[in-house]
Amino acid sequence: MSAVEESSNDSVEVKEDSEFDAEAEDQLGDDHVLDPTRYIFYRDRKEWADLEPVPQDDGPNPVVKIAYSEKFSDVYDYFRALLKNNERSDRAFALTAEAIELNAANYTVWHYRRVLLQALSKDLRDEMRYITAIIEEQPKNYQVTCLSTWRLSSPRHHRRMVVEWLNNPAEELEFIADILSQDAKNYHAWQHRQWVIQEYKLWDNELEFVESLLEEDVRNNSAWNQRHFVISLTTGFSDPTIAEREIQYCLKQIRKAPHNESAWNYLKGMLQDRGLSSQPGLLERVLELKETHCSPYLLAFLFDCYEDALENSSQKENICNLLALEKDAIRKEYWLFLGRSLKSKHGISGNSDDLEPSVPASELFPTEPL
């Protein structure tokens, strides 16, 4: 059991400690019980005397060295000792919790903890409580930051493993909904949610959930993505009733918030493979909206409709100019480029598949892979 620091106010530590009280207490030395508020380094604990601590060794010229406190080093020196011996014991299990407390991003600690969970036949429901506490009370470990680009998402992965072993996703949708209520676009949370839904076939209420999020924020791109995810993997979009329903939904949201790329991306994404111009009446509805609810996305959609219909090059050129000069000026060069491509395409053929980029990507790579 980890000793309680004088200055500790961390409820997570207390919670997890109480779970291991019965077994861990047996392993405590006398000094520990005498004054539970005095932190004792592992190196000074009798019950750890059999282990040789293993320091971190960066050699003579360490780079990006992190200056750990004595306490931190002590815990991890003993963690490393346990790892080296591949010890399977309750004291090891307890120490992983302390190591996680100090650095929840250390994926080796989490992996070792999973090894111990299985080797010691730990109660996985207790582990679910533990991982829930870790994530909820240290939200920064669940947050997606740019610095976590190459970092393994240890708490999330751990949770997924435990859910898989328990084969019980009962808490997951609610747990994730809770995370999303604080950070509605959390990429990890949505990923976990998709996994749970697909793995355990929990589709039933998801569309409703998505709609409630879109009610709160119609610009939540993650929610739009989830909408597409649910429908494409349940009913699909090819049923004309479904397609019409979704089109209506999009247009309604666009009327509420015209300057919303997510809604337009959804509409286009849904229809682009079958052909934007193939949906009867859609072009007219969009032209109507253009008068009252215009946006760069609407105009781009119109352009794509005309492209798809292989129609009316002058209309397309007008839209490009409107976008370039007025409605989407930041992309002026791009819209002018598209306008120019139209001219050259019109000269060659009507088929956009023939249009080659000016410098092939392969020229950036003079060394071909073997």
Partner 1 sequence: MAEEESQFEEFEQIDFLRDRHVRFFQRTLQVLPERYASLETTRLTIIFFALSGLDVLDALDVIDRNLMIEWIYSLQVLPTEDQSNLSRCGFRGSSHIGIPYSTKGPGVLHPYDSGHVAMTYTGLCSLLILGDDLSRVNKQACLAGLRALQLEDGSFYAVPEGSENDIRFIYCAASICYMLDDWSGMDIQKAIEYIRGSLSYDNGFGQGAGRESHGGWTYCAIASLCLMGRLEEALNQRELDRIRRWCIMRQQTGFHGRPNKPVDTCYSFWVGATLELLDVFQYTNFDKNRSFILSTQDRLVGGFAKWPDSHPDPLHAYLGLCGLSLIGEPSLRKVHPALNITQRAFQHLQQLQQTWRDSSAGSCRRQH
Which residues are part of the catalytic machinery? 140
Pick the piece of the chain touching partner 1 (CB under 8 A) from 36-44, 124-132, 169-177, 351-359: 351-359
∠ CA 40-43-49 to the nearest 5 degrees?
Answer: 115
68: contact with partner 1 by CB under 8 A:
yes
Residue closer to partner 1 by CB (options 232, 314) is 232
Residue closer to partner 1 by CB (options 95, 300) is 300
Is there a contact between 51 and 82 (Cβ–Cβ < 8 Å)? yes
219: contact with partner 1 by CB under 8 A:
yes
**Closest of 197, 177, 202, 207 to residue 189, by C-alpha:** 177
Kindly give, in sequence order, each residue whose CB lies less than 8 Å from that of residue 177, ignoring residues fewer than 6 positions away.
209
253: contact with partner 1 by CB under 8 A:
no
165: contact with partner 1 by CB under 8 A:
no
Q: CA of 230: how far to CAs of 195, 206, 245, in Å?
A: 12, 7, 15
Size of the site for partner 1 (CB under 8 A): 91
Which residues within the stretch 13-52 sit at the binding site for partner 1 (CB under 8 A)?
none
**Closest of 107, 109, 151, 156 to residue 131, by C-alpha:** 156
358: contact with partner 1 by CB under 8 A:
yes
For residue 12, give both structure tokens: 């997570």
What phi and psi values does residue 285 have, to the nearest 5 degrees?
A: -65, -40
63: contact with partner 1 by CB under 8 A:
yes
Round the CA-based radius of gyration of the chain to a whole number and report it. 29
User: Would you state the torsion angle of the CA atoms of residues 277, 283, 284, 286, taken in this order, to the nearest 10 degrees?
Assistant: 160
* Diameter over CA atoms, the chain: 91
Q: What's CA 311's distance to the chain center, in Å?
A: 41
- The secondary structure of 227-288, three-state, reads HHHHHHHCCCCCCHHHHHHHHHHHHHHHHHCCCCHHHHHHHHHHHCCCCHHHCCCHHHHHHH
152: contact with partner 1 by CB under 8 A:
yes
333: contact with partner 1 by CB under 8 A:
yes
Pick the piece of the chain touching partner 1 (CB under 8 A) from 6-14, 125-133, 238-246, 356-364: 356-364
Pick the piece of the chain touching partner 1 (CB under 8 A) from 34-42, 60-68, 173-181, 247-255: 60-68
107: contact with partner 1 by CB under 8 A:
yes
DSSP label at residue 143: S
State which amino acid sits at residue 125. R
Calpha distance 91→317 (Å, rounded)? 72
Residue closer to partner 1 by CB (options 19, 338) is 338
Among 222, 253, 279, 295, binds partner 1 (CB under 8 A): 222
265: contact with partner 1 by CB under 8 A:
yes
**Closest of 4, 167, 214, 1 to residue 90, by C-alpha:** 1
Pick the piece of the chain touching partner 1 (CB under 8 A) from 123-131, 204-212, 248-256, 265-273: 265-273
Q: Positive or negative, the Cα torsion across 261, 267, 268, 273?
A: positive
Pick the piece of the chain touching partner 1 (CB under 8 A) from 1-9, 23-31, 216-224, 275-283: 216-224
Which residues within the stretch 172-201 sit at the binding site for partner 1 (CB under 8 A)?
185, 187, 190-191, 194, 198
Among 2, 96, 253, 260, binds partner 1 (CB under 8 A): 260
* Shortest reach from residue 79's CB to partner 1, in Å: 9
* Shortest reach from residue 187's CB to partner 1, in Å: 7
Among 32, 45, 98, 220, binds partner 1 (CB under 8 A): 220
238: contact with partner 1 by CB under 8 A:
no
321: contact with partner 1 by CB under 8 A:
no
Residue closer to partner 1 by CB (options 105, 173) is 105
